[in-house]
Amino acid sequence: MTKVTMTVNGKSVSGAVEGRTLLSDFIREGLRLTGTHVGCDTSQCGACVVHVDGKAVKSCTMLAAEAEGAEIKTIEGMANPDGSLSVIQQAFQDHHGLQCGFCTPGMVMSAAALLAENPSPTESEIRKYLEGNICRCTGYHNIIKAIMAASGQSVADVAAE
């Protein structure tokens, strides 16, 4: 076992991990932050996306030991300091960007990383960015609308699926 220390949602955390422990498992089982979902474990679905040093990363593709010293943000760290929903989370709610909600933490984390890089993405840029995030329920249409709205853009022209 190896000791790892990282900052998660602004707090320093440590734990003992095996060399093979995935970051997603450390977050869910070691830290009990179960908002990060695991849908596949094979880098397909994007349900496990978190931010590592500000970049969107599928946490099932990274070893916990590789995150030593990193700044991690999970969906639990996305709300505003007063506990209200962030702009992106509120936009998902307002535009019905979720149904079962399984993909939603990963979608929100990917959307936040996209908007940090590109504050006014086009619809096609959003679709391209979300290629690694699978949703089995929504058909993506309302997710795209939510991200357009969160970026302050009109949702009127979002093409139907």
Residues that bind ligand FES (CB under 6 A): 38-41, 43-48, 58, 60, 98-103, 135-138
How many Cα atoms sit within 13 Å of 9 on the Cβ side? 16
DSSP string computed for 36-104: S--S-SSSSS-TTEEEETTEEEEGGGSBGGGGTT-EEE-GGG-S-TTSPPPHHHHHHHHTT--SS-SSH
Other beta carbons within 10 angstroms of residue 16's beta carbon come to 12
Pick between residue 4 and residue 107 the one whose CB is nearest to ligand FES. 107
CB of 111 to ligand FES, least distance (A): 13
Pick between residue 38 and residue 65 the one whose CB is nearest to ligand FES. 38
CB of 33 to ligand FES, least distance (A): 15
Tokens of 81: 């300091």
Pick between residue 48 and residue 130 the one whose CB is nearest to ligand FES. 48
Calpha distance 145→48 (Å, rounded): 22
CB of 62 to ligand FES, least distance (A): 10
At what angle are helices 141-150 and 104-117 packed, to 10 degrees? 40
CB of 88 to ligand FES, least distance (A): 15
Tokens of 7: 């900052």
Pick between residue 3 and residue 96 the one whose CB is nearest to ligand FES. 96
CB of 48 to ligand FES, least distance (A): 4
Pick between residue 17 and residue 23 the one whose CB is nearest to ligand FES. 23
